Homo-oligomer: A and B are copies of this chain.
Amino acid sequence: MGLIVQKFGGSSVKDKECLMRVAKTVTDTYKAGNQVVVVVSAQGDTTDELIEKANEINPRASKREMDMLLSTGEQISIALLSMAIDKLGCPVVSLTGWQAGFVTRSNHGAARIRRIETERLKRELDNNNIVVVAGFQGLNRFDDITTLGRGGSDTSAVALAAALHADRCQIFTDVEGVYTADPRIVKNAVKLDEITYDEMLELASLGAGVLHNRSVEMAKKYHVNLEVLSSIVNKPGTIVKEAVKMEKLLIKGVAKDEDVARIAVIGLPDTPGIAFKIFSLLASRKINVDIILQSIGRHNTKDISFTVPLADKDTAIELLQEKFDILGAERIEAEDDIVKVSIVGAGMQSNPGVAAKMFEALYDANINIQMISTSEIKISVLIARKDADRAVIAVHDAFDFNEK
């Protein structure tokens, strides 16, 4: 018995059947004696359809009006889900982002949450209501509706759990939890019972695609007890929390990230400050650089290679070409026929054999490593896109995930 925040994404509420299934999950939790706050996204493709409508009228629509438009998607979801819960006989009230007290910064389209004014939420919970809250949205100091941008509904749920000191924040998805690898690629991938925030952060940013980084960062900051579980199958998922049980597993999972392009600046003069010039240029346009490799070229020159998200590739190349003469480079090369494959686990930092085992597995599978990056809890390699799935399987097989 406690206070539980449950979050359901767009595909979980896309039609009548899905809504009734979610209503069942919610009311079961409520009938078990819990207070329940539910966060929902817009139904199925609603957001995309609204964006298309807007683009037809004005492809350069202001972000304020886009937020006004898109926030209707979640408002429709909360009303319909409340009707479904009401039909199952439980008291329920729906709240938009502003009714639920979400105060955000003023920028539209990707507003950050400043605080949640919880009076109304608490009053509705005190009145024994299930409270259904529109995710992804809030109100800024001009009393204008804002949206939180990508992963916004996960973030709404975690922020609510933090503000209400909830006992647990359950993120319902189309998978049964966090796996040691993508189960669609690796047949013997194993669901993890627990994982730390840091491991989850690495897995999320490495393309495991279950939780958005922003929500995990917030959960870590406010010590929110997160659970990732299935909206279809009724069984425990994966708990994300600070400390995990001691267990045999060094490695928590193998992840594949396809959203990556490699840029190489070839033949730079071997003078100090060159790397600084390149990366401050990219930082000025908020381009996130991941793996960096600097190597000695011919004739006392340097080559600098790095990876960026696919969407930033063209901007990065443009920026570098504008400053081509100042940098004194020979040429710029770009490649997007690559992927990043990573292993993640808090246990690996004290175990030097982990990297060797990963590289050996790739060597045995005859897969060429283009770049390597390591941190305390992960090792990433850049390889050819065509080898991606074989690499994930080979690396996964090299570790004993199935013997825990």
Contact = CB atoms under 8 A, between A and B. Distances in A.
Interface of A: 16, 19-20, 50, 53-54, 56-58, 60-62, 64-66, 68-69, 71-72, 75-76, 78-80, 82-84, 86-87, 93-94, 96, 99, 120, 143-145
25 contacts: A16-B57, A19-B57, A50-B76, A53-B80, A54-B79, A54-B83, A57-B83, A57-B84, A58-B83, A58-B84, A61-B83, A62-B82, A62-B83, A62-B86, A64-B93, A65-B79, A65-B86, A65-B94, A68-B75, A68-B79, A69-B80, A72-B75, A72-B76, A99-B143, A120-B143
A263 to B, nearest CB: 36
B68 A94 contact: yes
Contacts of A79: 54, 65-66, 68-69, 72
A345 to B, nearest CB: 44
B57 A80 contact: yes
A54 B68 contact: no
A81 to B, nearest CB: 9
Nearest to A74: B72
A62 B87 CA distance: 10
A78 B96 CA distance: 18
A54 B145 CA distance: 25
Given A16-B56, A99-B143, A143-B120, A69 B76 contact: yes
Contacts of A50: 76
A79 B54 CA distance: 9
Contacts of A120: 143
Nearest to A64: B93
A68 B99 CA distance: 11
A69 B56 CA distance: 24
Contacts of A53: 76, 80
Top 5 A-B pairs, shortest CB-CB distance = A69-B79, A72-B72, A58-B83, A68-B79, A61-B83
A20 B57 CA distance: 8
Given A57-B84, A99-B143, 17 more contacts: A16-B56, A50-B76, A53-B76, A53-B80, A54-B80, A57-B87, A58-B87, A64-B93, A65-B79, A65-B82, A68-B82, A69-B75, A69-B76, A72-B76, A75-B75, A96-B145, A120-B143
Contacts of A93: 64
A152 to B, nearest CB: 18
Given A68-B94, A94-B68, A143-B99, A61 B78 contact: no
A61 B86 contact: yes
Nearest to A66: B79
Nearest to A80: B57
A161 B76 CA distance: 30
A1 to B, nearest CB: 27
Contact of A86 (B58, B71, B75, B87): B58
Contacts of A64: 93
A372 to B, nearest CB: 47
Contacts of A58: 83-84, 86-87
A100 to B, nearest CB: 11
A76 B51 CA distance: 11
Contacts of A84: 57-58
A236 B143 CA distance: 37
A99 B65 CA distance: 14
A129 to B, nearest CB: 12
A11 B69 CA distance: 19
Contacts of A94: 65, 68
Contacts of A56: 16
